[in-house]
Structure 1
Amino acid sequence: MLPLKIGACLRISEIADHRDWLFDAQRDIELQDFMTHTALGDERADRIAAARAALAGHGGRVGIHGPYEGLDIDNKDAELRPLITARFLRALEAAEAIGARQMVLHSPYRAWYQNNKLASPGYAETKQARIHTVLGPVVKRAEEAGITIVIENIEDVDPATRRALVDSFASPAIGLSIDTGHAQLARRMSGAPPVDYFVRDAGAQLAHVHLQDVDGHADRHWPPGEGEIEWAAVFRALADCTAAPHLVLELHNKSHIPQGFAYLKRLGLVE
């Protein structure tokens, strides 16, 4: 039922700028300080301590964005796959240490996959097997920690493909994430369905949503209202969802969080 409560993606150092808005309503927070090799190496302990301090007194839900640059969960190199798994496990340890209950990872499905999945026998199955090799230990550890891995659409064309991947793990520790801007870009570039269709297809598997607006050309991460996304349709679909996904504004300019929130609130979609 509308309106829905939303939060934001922030770095640890940015929480203080939005503390009253976040903490008074116990809004969802996604920390984006644990995505790089450095952040998960020598700096990890300091970042964990800083996150704990910044989150003190917050009673809402917390997640982190996991690492992704150069870390394809469908890596074809058998020597590299264990390194990717290890990096994800390091990030999962950080999530557990700060009390986070979600970790976002990026989807490996792109337009190339959509156009080639039936071009050769076993193409889809082989790809999924590689993904299981990389993510299997991560999902198992997430189960033990009570954390959900959420797979975010990047260039995904058919939302059912990612849903089938999540279903293939048969685990409560892996679910779906939707980035509204990425879905809209896939609609413009590759003929994907509208953003609200991504939400409705995800159904009970939907655990997390990045809210950002785009112009249909680039990954703008603008506040809602500055781009072309049909926000009323998106939030009607979210209101019908049987799950309770984390809903977070993911904006390049964090000073625009109040603007994006105010726009959605004027439409009666958020509180």
Structure 2
Amino acid sequence: MTPLKIGAALMVADLPRFRDWLIADQRDLELQDFLLPEVLLGDWPGRVAAARTHLDGFEGRLGIHGPFYDLALDTADPEIAPIVARRYVSGVRAAAALGASQMVIHSPYSTWDWFNFGNNPRIGATPAAAERKIDAVHAILREAVALAEAEGITLVIENIEDIDPRFRRDLASSFGSDAVKLSIDTGHAHYAHGATGAPPVDYFIADAGPLLAHVHLQDADGFADRHWAPGRGTVNWHAVFAAIAALPQRPHLVLELREAADIPVAMDYLSGQGLAR
């Protein structure tokens, strides 16, 4: 297998350290400042301007991590839902101002959902719980998706607690839009595999198929969300990279590590295994 070129998820403050590495091979980059409430509620244009000063000469694929703290995609409360919806719109606006082509958002599917969707079947004309979940997400994301379509940005829905990846795939497909696709976090999938009986990570990738547009690469132990450098946990990286290589497209591939300082260690391991460059 040909080694795959990978990049990293970083804060703007990390860019001076990794700028040359990113630009030398025009690697994928995801800026994560915009997941912070204080950024999107504050001077996010200033954060965009700061990023731009470090990215002169950068021509790689660029994305951001969108907001998610206390912002459930299926929020139904009539007072809270408009606030949640506006925050996602703010994220898309920040992505557009930065010139990013993707924004990561978090899956609404919980462990509880998987065990209880079958406990809430359709009754007459009343939609089943899984269908109500999709309707609620559409209501929250309607304006954000419309803006993303206009700006050429793709919202990628990342697995969090997901046990069955089909639910998230069906959600993304339900929009019928190229502006909504899928993201996979390898550590989240490995946690779900080890702790809740989900399929292994490569199964998540194969299930996403042509809808997979983004991958967070991080290692874990199948117990918690570690964000370790690959090689320090128990993810089967050869299976993961083989599944990615088998896709008809190349998703954004970024290391998302707890410590950005571990990026060189991660690259040494993955390149040493013949998987990444």
Give the TM-score category using the shorter length. Answer: over 0.9
Partner of 1:154: 160
Partner of 1:40: 40
State the distance in 1 between where 2:145 and 2:2 align.
Answer: 32
TM-score w.r.t. structure 2 length? 0.96
* Larger deviation, residues 43-52 vs 219-228: 43-52
The answer to whether the 8 Å contact 2:31/2:63 transfers is yes
Report the residue type matching 1:80 in the other structure. Answer: I
Partner of 1:164: 170
Q: What is the deviation of 1:75?
A: 0.9
The answer to whether the 8 Å contact 1:66/1:103 transfers is yes
Q: Among residues 235, 245, 252, which one is paired with 2:241 in the alignment?
A: 235
Q: Among residues 237, 241, 256, which one is paired with 1:250 in the alignment?
A: 256
Q: What is the deviation of 1:126?
A: 1.0
The answer to whether the 8 Å contact 1:205/1:243 transfers is no
Please give the residue correspondences for 1:15-30 in structure 2 after superposition, counting only pairs within 5 Å: 15-30=15-30
Answer yes or no: is 1:267 the counterpart of 2:266. no
Partner of 1:87: 87
Partner of 2:147: 141
Report the residue type matching 2:113 in the other structure. Answer: Y
Partner of 2:231: 225
Q: What is the deviation of 1:242?
A: 0.9
Q: What is the deviation of 1:41?
A: 2.3
Answer yes or no: is 1:126 the counterpart of 2:132. yes
TM-score w.r.t. structure 1 length? 0.98
Q: What is the deviation of 1:60?
A: 0.2
State the distance in 2 between where 1:18 and 1:124 align.
Answer: 42
State the distance in 2 between where 1:51 and 1:91 align.
Answer: 15
Q: What is the deviation of 1:36?
A: 2.1
Q: What is the deviation of 1:68?
A: 0.4
Partner of 2:125: none
Partner of 1:183: 189
State the distance in 1 between where 2:143 and 2:188 align.
Answer: 28
Partner of 1:116: 116
Q: What is the deviation of 1:38?
A: 1.5
Q: Which runs of 5+ in 2 are unaligned?
A: 123-127
State the distance in 1 between where 2:93 and 2:107 align.
Answer: 21
Q: What is the deviation of 1:135?
A: 1.0
Answer yes or no: is 1:50 the counterpart of 2:50. yes
CA RMSD after TM alignment: 0.9
Q: Deviations over 1:159-190 (max 9, x none)?
A: 11100000000000010000000000000111
State the distance in 2 between where 1:36 and 1:254 align.
Answer: 17
Answer yes or no: is 1:195 the counterpart of 2:229. no
Please give the residue correspondences for 1:40-79 in structure 2 after superposition, counting only pairs within 5 Å: 40-79=40-79
The answer to whether the 8 Å contact 2:102/2:156 transfers is yes
Q: What is the deviation of 1:82?
A: 1.1
State the distance in 2 between where 1:118 and 1:218 align.
Answer: 27
Q: Deviations over 1:124-183 (max 9, x none)?
A: 111111011001211111000000000000000011110000000000001000000000
State the distance in 1 between where 2:39 and 2:196 align.
Answer: 34
Report the residue type matching 1:18 in the other structure. Answer: F
The answer to whether the 8 Å contact 2:19/2:54 transfers is no
State the distance in 2 between where 1:176 and 1:197 align.
Answer: 14
The answer to whether the 8 Å contact 2:205/2:244 transfers is yes
Percentage of identical aligned residues: 51
